[in-house]
Structure formats: C-alpha cells, structure tokens
Amino acid sequence: MEKLVIKGGTKLKGEVTINGAKNAAVAILPATLLINGECTIENLPNISDVQISCEILSALGAKIEWIGKNSIKIDTRNITTTNAPLDLTSKFRASYYLIGSMLSRKGEIQVGMPGGCNLGARPIDQHIKGFELLGATVDVSQGKITASADKLVGTSIYMDIVSVGATINVMLASVLAEGTTVIDNAAKEPHIVDVANFLNTMGADIRGAGTDMIKINGVKELKGNATYSIVPDQIEAGTFMLAAVASRGDILIKNCITKHLESITAKILEIGGNVEDHGDSIRVWCNERPNKASIKTLPYPGFPTDLQPQMGVVLSTANGNSRIVESIWDSRFQYTEELNKMGANIMAQGKTAFFEGVDHLVGAPVYSSDLRAGAALIIAGIIAEGTTEIYNLQHIDRGYENIEERFRKLGANIERVKE
Ligand code: EPZ
C-alpha cells in the first residue's frame, strides 16, 4: 500500500501544464468502437481510468499501440466479442459508454454495472430511457447490464435530469442510427463537446453539442483514419487554480481553455484572489486570507461539482463563515470529516456544508474517499502546519497523472512512500 507524505506550510509557486481531460478521454476511447477502421488519439492523460479503458477495448478485440506517453493508435476493425470483461468494467464509471458504442457497432453488449467514485446514488435510468427510445432492449440484473437492438432509429429524447453520462451515451447510440435524434435538456460540459468533435472528425454528423439541444443525423459508418487531440482538463486546471489560492501562492496554469474556467475565476475574484487570463493559460495568485463565499454546484457553466472539495479547502481557512450546497451528488462531503481531523471547522448536513474559517490547518493522517476529495486533501496537506499522510491513493491515481511530481515542481514537500 502506498501513501503520500506531505510536509506543509508551502506557498505554491511556478508553472504547471494541464493534461487531456479524463472525462473526455474515458468517453472517446469507447467511442472508437463506432469506427470500422483506425484512428490516433493524442493528449491522453496517463491515468488508471485510461489504462483500464484500453484493457477493455483490447479484450473486445481492438488493437492498441502506444505511440508516446500520451498518444495511441487504435484499430477497431476486428471486434471479436460483445461481452465486456466484468472484472474491469466494474472498476470505473465510464464503462457504461460501452453500451451506447456497442449498441451502435454490434447491436448488443453485456457489461458489469459501472463502478466509480462513491458519491451516493448514481442511477443510470436516463441512459436506459435513451437506449429504449432508440429501439434497444435493456436488462439490468445480477450486477450486469445486457442491451440489444435489431435496429436503432433516431427520435426525440428529453432528459429528465441534466446528465453528462446519459447525454454522451445517447449520442454514442445515435451516431449510426437511422434518421435524426434530438437530445433535449442535454448537458453542456466541455467534455461533451469534445466527444462530439471527436465523432464528427471521424465522420459523424452531430450539431449543437455544448448547448441544451443536440441534433445527431445518423450516418452509415465512421471511417476514422484521422487524429484527434483530447481537450485540456477543465477540472485539473481548476484544481491547480484553487491550490494557488489555498496556499497563498502564485501559479501559471498552461495549456488550458480559460473559457471553461469562468465560474472558478469568478469565485476566486469574489473571495479576493487574483486572476490573469491569457486565453490558453491562466495565472492565479493570492497574497492574503480569502474572504468567505457561498457556493452552489451546478451543471456547466455553473460551478463544477468536481471542484467542490478543492474549494472546500480554500473556504476552510477563509475569513468568516462560508457555505457550499452540493446540488449534483447526494454524498460528496466525506472529505470534510478528514479536514476536521486537520483542525477545520466544517458541519456537513445532507447536501449543505457550513465552513467556519480557521486560521490554519494542522497535518494529520487522512483518507481519500474519492478522486476529487483526494486532490483536496493534497492541497490541505500542502497548506497545513506539520506533516500529513494521505491514504487510498488509488482514487487519486484514477484521475491525476503524476500528481505529487507536479505539486513538487511547484514547491510542495511531498513524497509517495510504500507503507
Ligand atoms: C460525470 O459523471 C463525471 N464522470 C463526474 O466526475 C461528474 O461529477 C458528473 O459527470 C457531473 O459533472 C465522468 O464523466 C466519468 P451525471 P456522471 O450523469 O455522468 C443523476 C470525477 O470526479 N442521474 O452528469 O455519472 C445523477 O445521480 C467524476 O471526474 C440520474 O438521476 O454524472 C446526478 O445526481 C465524479 N440518472 C446527476 O444526474 C441518470 O441516468 C448528474 O449525473 C444519470 C444521472
């Protein structure tokens, strides 16, 4: 077992380059199953979710060649089975994208119930609703999802709830369907636009991604034979922006799309931080104690739920009393118990957490409950007085490439050690 050991009290300073977006990569990789050919994908983050996705695609018959640390050439001409390996698919959330992709490619799929971060109930009813409206039959039993369709026919689908996964999955199931599909009340996250751009590069006809109405005109097949580069990770960029504010440091975040960061920038300016927007990079610095804030997480372009724990660390040592309302997930405040072990004063009740800003945090052994909570605990350890040990690193490694090395380059005293 490994742990991170952090000696705190550092003001993070320097430059960091943002990787490709995890939540785009884990959708674009299964989307390659729609291609009867090969393609090249660049700017892939080298994280365990991507590695598992590649293992699953290989098990289905795809040929994958790594060309460099962050690029692959993938040939999906020869898909030999429609049974995804259950042990792998239950390891992460995005395995459900295999359903939309394989319904389009092969008309059938069996996959384990998706895993992923423990954020409370994570139903997939909107995914299933979309597949059934397109003409598929879906069965969920004994921890498996079995879906099949003789033919997929385009139709209008209204999403009862704004869902990133369901929006992408229905898009994947519509690309090769007969006729036109309209997804209404669609999610608008940058990674949804990236999946649509990837599919259109490979020959699909998708319009309106990034708005709440997406129109997909079914095409006969996707040729591939193209190269696509994954969009920079909005959440990773936001993580480093908030680390700069929490540590009273000064960080230049390179290779990002600042348009995707507007809600984070607005909140940082509101609490007294400073931001310089250079279009494809952004400088964030903070010289004094931030002021209190009230945050509500919302679908894009609102404040992202995936940056809620990191903002929680900023507010735990801000001036005055703050509040966060988590409107997306039922249970995304487990990290506050860990921060309280470090001297924070947070009371979480259901979907709301109240923060009474304290002067400083104190190092302690803490446990990461999910990917973004893990990132938040790293920031907390960097700003705390004394030494912090962080366990359950598997969560963090799912979504952040070489996280300790990148914080070390910003001045953090952080080591990964074998327990
Ligand atoms: C994606 O999860 C991300 N994961 C999550 O990021 C992120 O928190 C979430 O979108 C919201 O932005 C990936 O992209 C792999 P949703 P997803 O469907 O697609 C409800 C991270 O840290 N809902 O947008 O599973 C659901 O319960 C991870 O990178 C239904 O009710 O999220 C939630 O309340 C954590 N029925 C809300 O919608 C459904 O069929 C939004 O969920 C689907 C969702």
Q: Which ranges constitute the DSSP H helices of 19-67?
A: 22-31, 48-59
Domains located in the chain, CATH noted:
2-18+232-418 (3.65.10.10), 22-229 (3.65.10.10)
Residue 238 CB less than 6 A away from ligand 1: no
Catalytic residue among 39, 54, 117, 286: 117
Q: Which residues pair with 193 in a beta bridge?
A: none
Residue 413 is which amino acid?
Answer: N
Look at residue 91 in the predicted model and tell me its pLDDT: 83
Does pTM top 0.95 for this prediction?
yes
Pocket test for ligand 1, best of 22, 127, 145, 164 (most atoms within 8 A of CB): 164
Concatenated DSSP letters of 364-395: -EEE--SHHHHHHHHHHHHHSBSEEEEE-HHH
Concatenated DSSP letters of 99-122: HHHHHHHTSEEEEEPP-----S--
117 flagged as catalytic: yes
- Residue nearest ligand 1's atom 33 by CA: 328
Look at residue 373 in the predicted model and tell me its pLDDT: 97
For each of the chain's 419 residues, which pLDDT tens digit applies?
Answer: 899 999 999 999 999 999 999 999 999 999 999 999 999 999 999 999 999 999 999 999 999 999 989 999 999 999 999 999 988 888 888 999 999 999 999 999 999 988 888 888 889 999 999 999 999 999 999 989 999 999 999 999 999 999 999 999 999 999 999 999 999 999 999 999 999 999 999 999 999 999 999 999 999 999 999 999 999 999 999 999 999 999 999 999 999 999 999 999 999 999 999 999 999 999 999 999 999 999 999 999 999 999 999 999 999 999 999 999 999 999 999 999 999 999 999 999 999 999 999 999 999 999 999 999 999 999 999 999 999 999 999 999 989 999 999 999 999 999 999 98
- Residue nearest ligand 1's atom 28 by CA: 306
Look at residue 419 in the predicted model and tell me its pLDDT: 81
Look at residue 120 in the predicted model and tell me its pLDDT: 86
